Structure 1
């Protein structure tokens, strides 16, 4: 059976960059499941699978369609119980929900502002128009003004990683000795930045940098299959 993972990309179809898609790519690899990636731009998403979703990732597994990275992880855990766990039990699911909330309310907004023009410039023209209109409506200002404000986010970004930095003093992964879905959540955010922007968010010698490098090496170096910007 061929699984298909629909992913978000820019003009270069070989460089999917969505943080949520990267969570799912590593989740599928964690479970040892084969899949093909079907890349597309922002304006193509509503057309996928006859309008099945407005977001990616979208996973087709046989006759089943699942969207949203967390819902896909839950689906994979329930469907492929005999394969390595993504959560390590109900406590792991609850922890992953907390990590997701922290990542999406703390890391994602900062990275979005830091990299906003980098993302725009990597898109096809039709997607650039959509991205500019939707993001300027969201932020209430031109993209260029958002990017200018993003310089403050860049300077403050390291401090936002302090909860992760503290945990990694005691264990190599958020999941403990081995990675779990919680690791993939945070990895997805930093992988997004790595792929779209030349801005350096992680410093040499930081335990978070060491953790991120370990995550890039997971599953035969899946994270390194797309080079840094």
Structure 2
């Protein structure tokens, strides 16, 4: 039975953009599992699977419903042990937890602020109203003001990626010679920005950008199945 992945979308239902949903899409592809993306706008999230999770991503695998990207990855690892591992063992799971927290604390804050208005502008009117209300509560200011300093902060953001850049000088992926869920965690953050905004968050000659390009090529070019925002 095909797995259902509830995928966050805007006006264009063919362009899922949530970094957390992209983690799951990559994880499903890594496991070689067929899935169907269910386009889900912001205002429909609360009704997904009778609201059992309240956020996306959510997957339905037969009778099982699982939410939260990391919990979904663990579920896939445990349920389909005969397929390629997402973690490469218990140590890989622990390392992925660290990578997830690093990404959430280092990568997401800048990207989320930098592309905030791009997200808003690609939503349906009802979703725009929801997005404005929730994000203005989060940032404590009108959403138009949030990305104002992105150019001034870009160099500092790129500098924070130096640990990743340095590691990529000795191996092609965070997972080593091949990508693991740790790669999908970080690559999905950059995919979020790539799909929703033309803002250049990485320099073309940055080793991080080159790694991201390799990630986009994985699984028959899954990441490239959605074109970059123009």
- State the shift of 1:206 in Å: 1.6
Answer yes or no: is 1:98 the counterpart of 2:98: yes
Q: Distance between the aligned counterparts of 1:149 and 1:136, measured in 2?
A: 16
User: Aligned with 1:104: secondary structure?
Assistant: helix
Q: Could you list the runs of 5+ residues in structure 1 that have no partner in the other structure?
A: none
1:66-97 residue CA offsets vs partner (Å, 9 max, x unmatched): 00000000000000000000000111011100
Which residue number corresponds to residue 175 of structure 2? 175
1:82-130 Cα distance to aligned partner (Å, 9 max, x none): 0000000111011100000010111111001100000000000001001
Query: What is aligned with 1:18?
Result: 18
Looking at structure 2, the residues matched to 148 and 45 of structure 1 have their Cα atoms a distance apart, in angstroms, of 29
**Aligned partners of 1:85, 1:156: CA distance in 2, in Å?**
35
C-alpha separation in 2, matches of 1:150 and 1:136:
17
Unaligned runs of 5+ in 2: none
Give the aligned partner of residue 2 of structure 1. 2
Measured in 2, the distance between the counterparts of 1:118 and 1:156 equals 21
Check if 1:62 corresponds to 2:62. yes
Q: Structure 1 stretches (4+) deviating beyond 2 angstroms?
A: 149-157
Q: How far apart, CA to CA, are the structure 1 residues paired with 2:214 and 2:83?
A: 21
2:166 maps to 1:163: no
CA-CA distance at 1:205 after TM superposition: 2.0
Q: CA deviation at 1:203?
A: 1.2
| Partner Cα separation in structure 2 for residue 150 and residue 43 of structure 1 | 28
TM-score, normalised with respect to structure 2: 0.98
**Aligned mates of 2:126, 2:163 — CA distance in 1:** 39
What does residue 107 of structure 2 align with?
107
Does 2:132 correspond to 1:132? yes
1:154 Cα shift?
Answer: 2.7
**1:33 paired residue number:** 33
What whole-Å deviation, never above 9, does each CA across 1:111-152 have from its counterpart, x for those lacking one? 011000000000000010010011101111001111213333
Q: Is the 8 A contact 1:114 1:154 kept in 2?
A: no
Is the CA contact 1:113–1:149 (under 8 Å) kept in the aligned structure 2?
A: no
Displacement, 1:176? 0.3
Q: Report the Cα distance in structure 1 between the residues aligned to 2:80 and 2:24, rounded to whole angstroms.
A: 14
CA RMSD of aligned residues (A): 0.9
TM-score by length of 1: 0.98
Aligned to 2:118: 118
User: In 1, Cα distance between the equivalents of 2:175 and 2:7?
Assistant: 26
Structure 2 match to 1:152:
152
Q: Secondary structure at the match of 1:129?
A: helix
Superposition deviation, residue 223 in structure 1: 0.2
Matched residue count: 229
Q: Secondary structure at the match of 2:33?
A: coil
